[in-house]
Amino acid sequence: MKILRNISFGQYIPRDSLIHNLDPRIKIMSCLAIIISLFLITEYLGYLILGSFVLISIIISKVHPKFVFRSLRPILFIIVFTLIIHLFMTEGKVIYQLGFLKITQEGLIKGLLISFRLFILILTTSLLTLTTSPISLTDGIERLLSVFKFIGMPAHEIAMMMTIALRFIPTLLEETEKIMKAQMSRGADFESGNIFNRAKNLIPILIPLFVNAFRRADELAIAMEAKCYRGGEGRTHYRELKIRKADILTFILSVLITIMVSVMF
């Protein structure tokens, strides 16, 4: 687990590209627009256009494709599983038969389309997290949510929670490793036994971890107060977000494409 100490958390890969330098708010909104339109598309051409848009963006981002596809790995199973379900479970014209398993033409098409949809969905979100640092992301989310402050949206609080969570993930992972080793040293076994046993065996890890996390939260709150924190009112920002020409153009482009594919196709 020491590996985790050496690699920065999150998927962020710093590069100097057009995409990296975009305002995070624009990126988040474009990402959302693409994802929404993914579910509104009805024609193949729509998928093609959207897919190309995403792939071109990946190329522009200068992030090596291997990182991009690495983010697909955990979902690969779901994509394949979905494909198989649709292949074998959809009614229609049978094109291939293996024993009692039937693959239908409709199933093939539907399966491929839905898998492709998932594929683009993951690629889009990965593109966002690969090209936007965690701080930028939380900043962007905070600013976007601030728009809804008038209906009581706690934008600042949400952003603060995200930042603190991101900050402490590596620390808590380290803590988990330490607790595991300590419990193993007095005979705890996390590997053998059935599912129920293994779940029960997690208690000696979870309870100390929770206690630890609560204590940290307490101390952190005091430290924050000592640094004059009293909520979101009157706070300024260390990092400025500026909308530039590239941002406006990107936004217009994304909106156009998404409207185009969802309305026209």
Partner 1 sequence: MFIHLENMCFTYSLGMPFETEVLKNINLEIDKDEFIGLIGHTGCGKTTLIQHFNGLLTPTSGKIYVEGVDLNKKGVNLKLVRQKIGLVFQYPENQLFEETIDQEVAFGPRKLGLPEGKIEKRVREALKMVDLDYSLYAERSPFSLSGGEMRRVALASILSIRPKMLILDEPTANLDPRGRDNILSEIKKIHKNFGMGVVLVSHNMEKVAETVDRLLVMHRGEIIIDGAPKEIFEKHANDLVEVGLGLPQVTECMHKLKAKGKDVYTGVLTVDDAEREVLKKTNKEINV
Partner 2 sequence: MVSILIKIKNLSHVYNYHKKDQIKALDSINLEIKNGDFISIIGSNGSGKSTLAKHMNCLLLPTTGDIWVDKMNTNDKSKTWKIRRKVGMVFQNPDNQIIATTVEDDIAFGLENIGINTKLMRERVDWALEVVEMEEYKKSEPHLLSGGQKQRVAIAGAIALRSSYLVLDEPTAMLDPRGRKEVMDIVKKLNREENITIIYITHLMEEAAESSRVIALDKGKIALAGKPEEVFIQIEVLKQLRLDVPQITELALRLNKRGINISPHTLKVEDMVESLCLYI
Q: Would you tell me which residues interact with partner 2 (CB under 8 A)?
A: 5-6, 8-9, 134-135, 163-164, 166-167, 170-171, 174, 215-216, 219-220, 222-230, 234-240
Residues 6+ positions from 158 with CB-CB distance below 8 Å:
141, 142, 145
Q: With 0-12 CB in 10 A as exposed, 13-18 as middle and 19+ as buried, what is 114? A: middle
Using only C-alpha atoms, the chain has a radius of gyration, in whole angstroms, of: 23
Alpha helices in 24-72 (DSSP H): 24-38, 44-60, 65-70
Identify the helix (H) or strand (E) that includes residue 89. helix 73-89
3-state helix, strand, coil in the chain (%, to 5): 70, 5, 30
Distance from C-alpha of 87 to C-alpha of 190, rounded to nearest angstrom: 39
Shortest gap between Cβ of 248 and partner 1 (angstroms)?
Answer: 40
99 contact choice in partner 2, partner 1, none (CB below 5 to 8 Å, kind-dependent): none
Q: Does residue 56 belong to the site contacting partner 1 (CB under 8 A)?
A: no
Q: Which is nearer to partner 2, 199 or 222 (CB)?
A: 222
Nearer to partner 2, 181 or 215 (CB): 215
Given the complex with partner 1, which of 93 and 215 has the nearer CB atom? Answer: 215
Q: Closest approach of Cβ 149 to partner 2, in Å?
A: 17
Q: Is the CB of 84 or the CB of 166 nearer to partner 2?
A: 166
- Contact with partner 1 (CB under 8 A) among 166, 183, 213, 241: 183
How many whole angstroms separate alpha carbon 102 and alpha carbon 99?
Answer: 8
Q: Are 6 and 124 in contact, with CB atoms under 8 Å apart?
A: no
Which of partner 2, partner 1, none has residue 207 at its interface (CB below 5 to 8 Å by kind)?
partner 1
With CB under 8 A as the contact rule, the residue among 18, 36, 59, 207 that binds partner 1 is 207
**Binder among 187, 195, 233, 240 for partner 1 (CB under 8 A):** 187
Is the Cβ–Cβ distance between 25 and 132 less than 8 Å? no
Binding mask 158-177 for partner 1 (x = CB under 8 A): -----------------x--
Closest-CA residue to 18 (of 71, 59, 53): 59
In the complex, least distance from residue 108 CB atom to partner 1, rounded to whole angstroms: 41
Considering only 73, 100, 152, 185, the residue that binds partner 1 (CB under 8 A) is 185
What angle is formed at CA 17 by the lines to CA 15 and CA 22, rounded to 5 degrees? 110
Interface with partner 1 by CB under 8 A: which residues? 2-3, 6-7, 175, 178-179, 181-189, 203-204, 207-208, 211-212
